[in-house]
Amino acid sequence: MWFLYWITAALAADRTTQVESLFRNAENWDPAAFTQAMGKVRSWGRDAVPPLIVIAERETGSNTRYSVCAALAEIPDARSLPTLSALTHAPEWVVRSQCGESYARLAAVLPEADLSPVVLLLGRDPECIVRVNVARAIGPRSHAGLRTQFSAWIGSTDVCESRVGMSGLAFDPAATSGDGPAKILGVLRDTRRSVDERETAADAFIHIPYPPALPTLRELVSGRLDNRANLRWMAAEALGGLGTDEDIPLLRAMIAEDPYNGDGVLAIKGKAAIKKIQAR
């Protein structure tokens, strides 16, 4: 019995040392180092959670806390929730955003998780990007009351509120059952709306299968409704999910307009959409 206890304690100590060593330089990670670290954390599983919590509560560097919150989202473990919830009050918006997203991602797979800490962020956080990112992460765990709220926000005179509503529905599997998609389409077509708001609407249709949006998506891809590159490539990506072989010439025409000789975003997204249509 004591032998098993000693082995377990030794393994836990070894894992703590590995996690501490891995995150020692997290403040200076580049994207490649971050991706590599997330892979190691996934391979370690739940044993990595206690030392990650210690680091999150001890360190003050925004990059380190961002990385730890991202790592905790890779391991479904309810022990992470109080720490993630506390960090949604961090002074740095990037930490609040990532920790809120991570909490919501865990809540999607942990039925016992209380959504209220991140739902509060939707209306409280002073940075719109935090509210939008958290809304996207909440989507898979959305419920009827939250879905109704998201839909009610769409088209609000408060641009951020409108973007939050569209972002929340974009990743909600049941989003097509209400009037939300029709309201998102209305925002997309309304050229009086802000560019950020209309781009959020276009992005939503990449994730929401809504056939009534097809005519508008085609108008955007062609540049007739709006010639802004971001709206066009987002519409092309959405068209890849909804369109038919008849849309391929339209996408090829957009590719031909790419100003970077086929290496720009219009060409890349157009080719990807064609490939997706042809694969069906």
Average pLDDT over residues 229-256: 97
Q: Which residue has better confidence, 173 or 216?
A: 216
**Span of 83-87, 96-100, 119-123, 200-204 with lowest mean pLDDT:** 119-123
Q: Give 189's pLDDT tier (boundaries 50, 70, 90).
A: very high
Query: What pLDDT does 124 receive?
Result: 87
- Give the residue-averaged pLDDT of 202-227: 97
- DSSP conformational letter for 91: S
The answer to whether residue 127 scores a pLDDT higher than 50 is yes
Q: H or E stretch including 12?
A: helix 2-23
The DSSP symbol for 48 reads G
Amino acid 30: pLDDT: 94
Cα torsion 189, 186, 233, 238: sign: negative
151 has pLDDT over 60: yes
Other C-beta atoms closer than 10 Å to the C-beta of 7 total 10
Is 224 a residue whose pLDDT tops 50? yes
- Chain-centroid distance, C-alpha 201: 15
Residue 204 CB-density burial (10 A; 0-12 exposed, 13-18 middle, 19+ buried):
buried
Assign 10 a pLDDT band (cuts: 50, 70, 90): very low
Residue 178: the pLDDT is 87
Question: How is the chain split into domains, by residue range?
Answer: 12-141, 142-208, 210-280
Farthest CA pair distance, the chain: 75
CA distance 21 to 82: 24
> pTM for the whole thing?
0.89
Question: How confident is the model at residue 11, as a pLDDT?
Answer: 41
* Cα–Cα distance measured from residue 151 to residue 129, given in angstroms and rounded to the nearest whole number: 19
Confidence of residue 253 (pLDDT cuts 50, 70, 90): very high
Whether domain 210-280 has CATH 1.25.10: the reply is: yes
Q: Which two tokens stand for residue 188?
A: 């997309």
Long-range contacts made by residues 243-250, C-beta under 8 angstroms, separation at least 24? 243/214, 243/217, 243/218, 243/273, 243/277, 244/277, 245/277, 245/278, 247/218, 247/221, 247/273, 247/277, 248/274, 248/277, 248/278, 250/218, 250/221, 250/222
Q: Which of 5-14, 89-98, 147-156, 184-193 has the lowest mean pLDDT?
A: 5-14
Q: How many residues does the chain have?
A: 280
39-70 residue pLDDT tens: 999 999 999 999 999 999 999 999 999 999 99
Question: Do the domains 12-141 and 210-280 sit in the same CATH topology, yes or no?
Answer: yes
- pLDDT at residue 141, as a whole number: 86
Are 105 and 73 within 8 A, CB to CB? Answer: yes
For 110-125, write each residue's pLDDT tens digit.
988 999 999 999 988 9
Tell me the average pLDDT across 77-90: 97
Provide the CATH topology of domain 12-141: Leucine-rich Repeat Variant (1.25.10)
What is the chain's mean pLDDT, rounded? 93
| Integer Cα distance of 154 and 175 in angstroms | 13
| Cα dihedral 211, 217, 158, 130 sign | positive
**Predicted pLDDT at 143:** 85
Q: What local confidence, expressed as pLDDT, does residue 4 receive? A: 38
Higher pLDDT, 227 or 11: 227
Distance CA 43, CA 45 (A): 6
Long-range CB contacts (< 8 A, 24+ apart) of 248-255?
A: 248/274, 248/277, 248/278, 250/218, 250/221, 250/222, 251/221, 251/277, 253/222, 254/221, 254/222, 254/223
Q: What is the dihedral of CA 257, 240, 130, 171, to 10 degrees?
A: 170
